[in-house]
Structure 1
């Protein structure tokens, strides 16, 4: 049996591949990336790429020791006989903050906006929309605590998915408050759950000591039954005056911009670095877990990583899950385009000439050529199959006259163009 790809990964395939689905089409990933780039860069964000692996300590400090990511889902990189030291990145934010601190971005005008698109890695149970290598679009803003920045980040996330054609999406908005608010809430949760500790899952027993808020995010049905039975008060009840005022301002901006949202006091997010604003973007068509992604404010993260205090906020969505939602919504992708020109020699001696003309034409337009001579009828069929706009024929008569016989495969228009005029023709026909 031939070697198969690793479980929890996908091949991103070219058009025409058998059994092609939206979430395996390379063109679909390109479409999502390009749409995100257009929306985010119009808002002033700049592109960054960070390493696929980072120091293990960065991920542990940044993501948080009580999270499932650190405790269960990290891919450790072994190198030169040592036992670990590097981690394949499970998310983008910690690495981007590390880049901010390391490369002197604090000198740049604030708020400073950045975006990333690339693969992430988590050793989790594979299911629909959840892979071990997946891809995210990540947006981060540094240098401002203004609630206007929070609202803009949420709105931009909605703008991206709307631009992609999704309509059945919903923002669920909450707040985790300031560190002292979280500590008060964690004290409340410890007091509430401790008498029932034996009913908690093993993971939640551990979280009760480390970070009780993580219990509310538990995937255990028994834990969720206990949470409902105890009538756990929401985090929003514990917001201090400053965090509460901040949260109200975020909501008001979103209302002013007609960005629809539902208040969801249960949102705690999956990473330890969040504070104040937190949200998730949901869609009904992506499986049991409907979240496409989410984000929040993380003003203390830079300090956790050993740097000076830098306020920040950001979000990420998974491209694979987004494509499943697009498929569920019946969103039609732009049709894949073929070459503007497909050159074909009608006899073997002119194949080298056609190849040279194709190489020259590529300076002006996407151009392909036939590697063997063809009859006229077969040339037209092959050009149609490739989705070419123009097919150019080069026979002995055209070679002698220094011309190319052209036919538009859409309109049927035919004309003869001199070889020296081909570049001008391509530029005009592409207008």
Structure 2
């Protein structure tokens, strides 16, 4: 039985998943991104140091286990920390900078399963490492937006903000503690812990009780606490987006849930997938490599959930077409013809998709099976065809029929299908 919170992918759903990843591949590799796949599990400290000990991911959501050598390992809950670890480990700092990497694959979080959110889910991640330039921030935002537009999604909204530099965040966290400490008992249990560990996380709380208190206290946004350098960086990102006519909304309430973010933060939302409308997002993380024990390597990136994007596509009626059936479905009319159908199918492959029945069929039953498989042609192999080394081919859409030598079947079908 499938584990609750994970699901099988097959048929139309799998093809939609593949379509999303293929579109991301086309857009990202056109921008010079190198595909890089990290292991499904890493040493736990990669995520404890990289994602942040105060985050819900590390404190509550990671799947962590000990291997036979007693080492603590964790199924990857997100892609960025692992990609930065790989950048450091493979000496990419001596490559021409910036290094652009992308990955698609499963992630794992022990959270409550709900529509579009699973304990095993799939992400496409993009990272650009080695430069502080706000141009790279704008490029990351544009690439995420381009992928979603290439998928023909329309009901998109791009939200942009900044979480400032570390000193800005420290000032803001001090302000939040001062404002919220008198009301600590009114906060949700999770936010009471966050007040001590990382008050900015309270702004991202899913508790309506917390959000109501924030509104009542008229808590100032992070943008009011930006230093001059972070403010100028944000202005440059805005300028580049405006130059490229990318529509965005400056959202002062937007914060990032992971500790490694600095400066730019962004999300893309879709209007028709419910309250949890974010498809993906990202931002800048200039200090992450140092947390992992390496030299300072500035970076920026994003990730989006494949399942979330699939929901948005379905909401806009943008699913994939019906699966294409075989080009030809071969029907043996006698027991002796079964092996001949196999031999002919192998002669036709892989130039065309050829399938065959594994037992003799009457012509009508054979056509019925071919139609169920959505085949373009049906091919009959009976006593007469075996004697002459021929095959009878029938185009199912028109009923046109031709009998020809088996050695000519491949050329005929290639021409007819073209």
TM-score, reference length from structure 1: 0.92
Mean alpha-carbon deviation: is it higher for 203-212 or for 116-125?
Answer: 203-212
Offset of residue 109 of structure 1: 2.2
Distance in 1, matches of 2:131 and 2:260, equals: 16
**1:357/1:122 CA distance change after superposition, 3 Å:** same
Q: Deviations over 1:139-176 (max 9, x none)?
A: 11112222121112111111112222321111111011
Is the contact between residue 129 and residue 287 of structure 1 (CA under 8 Å) also seen in structure 2?
Answer: no
CA shift digits 1:182-222 (9 cap, x unpaired): 12211222222223223222322222222111111112222
Match among 84, 106, 129 for residue 119 of structure 1: 106
Alignment of 1:229-240 (within 5 A): 229-240=216-227
Q: Please report how far the alpha carbon of residue 133 of structure 1 lies from its aligned counterpart in structure 2 after TM superposition.
A: 1.1
CA distance in 2, matches of 1:357, 1:29: 33
Alignment partner for residue 213 of structure 1, among 174, 187, 200?
200
Q: 1:278 aligns with which of 257, 265, 268?
A: 265
Give the match for residue 20 of structure 1. Answer: none
1:328 has 2:325 as partner: no
In the alignment, the residues of structure 2 paired with residue 186 and residue 44 of structure 1 have an alpha-carbon distance, to the nearest angstrom, of 38
SS in 1 for 2:336: helix
- 1:163 pairs with 2:150: yes
The residue aligned with 1:9 is 6
- Aligned CA distance change for structure 1 residues 46 and 407 (closer, same or farther; 3 Å): farther
Picking from 51, 54, 58, the partner of 2:46 is 58
CA contact (8 A) 1:351 1:373 kept: yes
In the TM superposition, what whole-angstrom CA distance separates every residue of 1:89-128 from its partner, at most 9, and x where no partner exists? 1111111111111112222222222211111111112222
Give the 3 Å change call, closer, same or farther, for CA 291–175 of structure 1 in structure 2: same
Q: Which residue is 1:300 aligned to?
A: 287
Q: Is the 8 A contact 1:276 1:297 kept in 2?
A: yes
Quick one: distance in 1 between partners of 2:290 and 2:29? Answer: 28
| Alpha-carbon distance in 2 for matches of 1:78, 1:426 | 56
The SS at the match of 1:62 is helix
In 2, are the aligned partners of 1:115 and 1:138 still within 8 Å (CA)? Answer: yes
1:104 counterpart residue number: 91
Measure the CA separation in 2 of the matches of 1:408 and 1:154. Answer: 48
1:22 aligned partner: none
Give distance in 1, aligned partners of 2:195 and 2:274.
29
Conservation of the 8 A alpha-carbon contact between 1:29 and 1:319: yes
The separation in 2 between residues aligned to 1:200 and 1:148, in whole angstroms, is: 39
8 Å Cα contact 2:137-2:264 kept in structure 1: yes
Counterparts of residues 396-407 of structure 1 (less than 5 Å): 396-407=383-394
Q: 1:182 maps to which residue?
A: 169
Cα distance in structure 2, aligned partners of 1:162 and 1:331:
12
TM-score by length of 2: 0.95
Q: Once structures 1 and 2 are overlaid, which stretch shifts more, 65-74 or 408-417?
A: 408-417
- TM superposition shift of 1:411: 4.0
Structure 2 CA distance for aligned equivalents of residues 347 and 320 of structure 1 = 47
CA contact (8 A) 2:16 2:319 kept: no
The aligned residue for residue 189 of structure 2 is: 202
Instruction: Provide the secondary structure at the position in 2 that maps to 1:348.
Output: coil
Residue in 2 that maps onto 1:383 = 370
| Root-mean-square deviation over aligned CA pairs | 1.8
For 1:369-422, what per-residue CA distance to the aligned partner results, in whole angstroms no more than 9, with x for missing partners? 111122222222211111112222222222222222222223444333422233
Alpha-carbon distance in 2 for matches of 1:173, 1:421:
61
- Flag structure 2 segments of 5+ consecutive residues without an equivalent: none
The alignment status of 1:341 with 2:328, answered yes or no, reads yes
3-state SS in 2 of match to 1:285? coil
Greater shift in the superposed pair: 161-170 or 198-207: 198-207
* 1:364–1:426 CA contact under 8 A, matched in 2: no
2:45 is the alignment partner of 1:49: no
- 1:239-261 per-residue CA deviation (whole Å, 9 max, x = no partner) reads 22222111111112212222111
2:211 is the alignment partner of 1:224 = yes
